[in-house]
């Protein structure tokens, strides 16, 4: 089941990579055509060739970095560790941003209450991407004109709550209790396995000793991830000695 969920998520990521590669490939194609035409009419000089070489290297480096980012993101975390929550959220957002931009979805990220977390950073990142992807799909399906996703954090010394909310109208009351059930999906069969949110809940609650919940707000759905901060983990460890 976990493997099936990962394969579905990787499929989504491949679509994101393709989207991120489209612009540099178009730039490279245009540059190659321009250089060829200048060469053909005898107006290609060393400065133009040098600029073409530099620009091509920059575009190739950008494409290579995209592959590096995605491959690192899907490496399983072997051990728990302390990590900066805001940095991990920003990394997850960077990966999905091109798709969100394509659909004119505005993301409001409030990073004023950052914390250091103890757990699996990549698994948390995958959970955040699952929630962002679901929000994106809901905004598109419901044909929301001004599409907005907000990411907010509320923290204390021992706990932090990440709230990821959208303005897509909310989850129907008859299915909100089933949203984390395995194989339950509001998407059609070809577009969803119904495992993304189920696996996200498993990651947060079983792997990171946190809690993942959802509620409707006046504007849409709000997914809340509750986690222990590093200070909270250390305090609990000391108190049990």
Question: Average per-residue pLDDT in the chain?
Answer: 82
93 and 195 in a common domain:
yes
Domain termination site, one of 29, 54, 73? 73
Contact 164, 222 (CB under 8 A): yes
Query: What 3-state class would DSSP assign to 98?
Result: helix
Q: What is the mean pLDDT of residues 29-47?
A: 88
Residues 120 and 98 in one domain: yes
Range of the domain at 146: 81-239
pLDDT the model gives residue 225: 97
Distance CA 173, CA 1 (A): 27
Are residues 186 and 107 part of one domain? yes
Instruction: Give the pLDDT of residue 60.
Output: 85
Do both 145 and 41 map to the same domain?
no
- Which of 49, 73, 97 terminates a domain? The answer is 73
- Do 60 and 103 sit in the same domain of this protein? no
Virtual CA dihedral for 80, 13, 140, 107, nearest 10 degrees?
50
- How many Cα atoms sit within 13 Å of 220 on the Cβ side? 21
Q: What is the pLDDT of residues 83-132, one digit of tens each?
A: 999 999 998 898 888 889 889 999 999 988 888 998 888 889 889 998 99
Same domain, 182 and 211: yes
Residue 123 confidence (pLDDT): 87
Distances, alpha carbon 178 to alpha carbons 9, 19, 29, 139, in Å: 20, 32, 48, 20
What is the total count of domains within the chain?
A: 2
119 and 164 fall within a common domain:
yes
pLDDT for 10: 62
Place of tokens 């000793």: 209
Q: Are residues 35 and 128 in the same domain?
A: no
Q: What is the CATH number of the domain that holds 7?
A: 1.10.287
Query: What pLDDT, on a 0 to 100 scale, did the predictor assign at position 239?
Result: 44
Q: What is the pLDDT of residues 173-223, one digit of tens each?
A: 999 999 988 766 665 444 444 567 888 898 899 889 999 999 999 999 999
Torsion of CA 55, 57, 58, 64, to 10 degrees: 150
68 and 114, same structural domain?
no
Is the model more confident about 12 or about 240?
A: 12
**How would you classify the pairing of strands 105-109 and 116-119?**
unpaired
Q: Domain containing 206 — which CATH number?
A: 3.30.565.10
Domain boundary among 73, 94, 121: 73
What are phi and psi for residue 111, nearest 5 degrees? -110, 30
């Amino acid at each position: 089941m976990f493997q099936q969920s990962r394969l579905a998520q990787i499929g989504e990521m491949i679509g994101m990579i393709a989207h991120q590669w489209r612009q540099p490939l178009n730039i490279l194609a245009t540059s190659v055509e321009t250089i060829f035409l200048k060469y053909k009419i005898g107006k290609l000089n060393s400065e133009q060739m040098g600029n073409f070489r530099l620009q091509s290297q920059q575009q190739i480096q950008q494409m290579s970095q995209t592959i590096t980012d995605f491959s690192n993101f899907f490496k399983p975390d072997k051990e728990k560790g302390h990590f900066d929550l805001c940095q991990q959220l920003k990394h997850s957002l960077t990966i999905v941003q091109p798709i969100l931009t394509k659909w004119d979805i505005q993301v409001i990220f409030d990073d004023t209450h950052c914390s250091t977390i103890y757990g699996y950073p990549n698994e948390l990142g995958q959970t955040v991407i699952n929630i962002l992807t679901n929000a994106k799909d809901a905004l598109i399906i419901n044909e929301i004109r001004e599409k907005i996703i907000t990411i907010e954090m509320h923290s204390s010394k021992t706990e932090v709550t990440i709230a990821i909310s959208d303005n897509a109208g909310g989850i129907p009351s008859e299915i909100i209790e089933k949203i984390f059930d395995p194989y339950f999906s509001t998407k059609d069969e070809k577009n969803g396995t119904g495992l993304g949110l189920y696996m996200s809940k498993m990651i947060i609650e079983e792997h990171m000793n946190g809690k993942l919940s959802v509620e409707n707000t006046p504007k849409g759905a709000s997914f809340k991830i509750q986690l222990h901060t590093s200070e909270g983990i250390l305090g609990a460890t000391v108190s049990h000695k």
